[in-house]
Amino acid sequence: MLHILHQIARTGIKSETAPTPAEEMIVVARLQKTILRTLGRALTIRHVDAGSCNGCELEIQALTNPYYNLEGIGIRFVASPRHADMLLVTGPVSKHMAIALKRTYDATPEPKLVVAVGDCGCTGGIFGQSYASLGGVASVIPVDVAIPGCPPSPRALLQGILAAISAHAPPVAAQADRPAVEPTLRSPDAPDTP
């Protein structure tokens, strides 16, 4: 036990300051302030590997190391889409994962933010579209934020995740481009602006 305490003390605090949200990663801006109010200061994420090479998974896992201290800024990964505010989806979406991805999306409660991760999640990347691959995540479910990179660094991942819940995001201009989902917020009586 003393060894463990000594090692913890010797390691010290490694956590770094969170980066600023990367607004350029926003694909479709939504009712940001309402989403923020709904989520409060906590965000829960369900990761879905829809067919990636595992490179993006390694960097998503890195978010839980002490440097990025995800839980310290109120974000945590959960085991079920039913507990999640956001889906973090890597790609390309293989045809064999398309149904599982749709079902995961359907199981996620509104406002169900979707973040597409990596070049493959954004466009299909090097695997593209084929008899076995549908390409980017947006070909199967609506995407709010797309984080490019092969794989994106943990810092870029954080910037994209924060952009999806950023109060500074541009006002909703592209709602019409999001036909599949009409956000039904958990507090429907709350106005969009205070």
Partner 1 sequence: MNVSPLGLSASALPCPIPAQRCRVNSGQLLSACRLAWERGGALVALWASDERDRARGFSVRVLLRDGDGLTLLEHTLPDEGARYPDLSPIFPAANRMQRAAFDLVGAQCDADDQRPWTWQAAWPIDRFPLQRDFEVSPTWEPGQEDYPFVRVAGDGVHEIAVGPVHAGTIEPGHFRFQVVGEKVLRLEERLGYAHKGIEKRFESLSLRDGYRLAGRVSGDSTVAYAWAYAQAVESIAADDPPPRAGWLRALCLERERIGNHLGDLGYLGNDGGFAFGHSQFSRLREDVLRLNEHAFGHRLLMDVVVPGGVARDLRADDSALMRQQVASLERELAVLRDIYDEHAGLQDRFRGCGEVTRELAMKLGLTGFAARASGVPDDLRCDFARTPYDTLGVRRATRADGDVAARVAVRFDETVESLRLVDAILAALPDGDIAATLPEAPSSRLAIGCAEGWRGPVFIALESGSDGTIRRCHPHDPSWQNWPVIEHAVIGNIVPDFPLINKSFNLSYSGHDL
Do 132 and 124 touch, CB atoms closer than 8 A? no
Pick the piece of the chain touching partner 1 (CB under 8 A) from 19-27, 28-36, 42-50, 182-190: 42-50
What would the x/- binding string for partner 1 be over residues 48 to 87, using CB under 8 A?
Answer: xxxxxxxxxxxxxxx-xxxx---------x-xxx------
Burial category of 191 from C-beta neighbours within 10 Å (exposed 0-12, middle 13-18, buried 19 and up):
exposed
Q: In whole angstroms, how close is the CB of 29 to partner 1 at the nearest point? A: 27
> Is residue 166 within 8 Å of 23, Cβ to Cβ?
yes
Residues in contact with partner 1, total (CB under 8 A)?
Answer: 51
| Angstrom distance (rounded) from CA 126 to CA 110 | 32
Please give the structure tokens belonging to residue 101.
Answer: 């991805």
Interface with partner 1 includes 4 (CB under 8 A)?
A: yes
Task: Select the span of 8-16, 159-167, 175-183, 186-194 touching partner 1 (CB under 8 A).
Answer: 8-16
Shortest separation between residue 123's beta carbon and partner 1, angstroms: 14
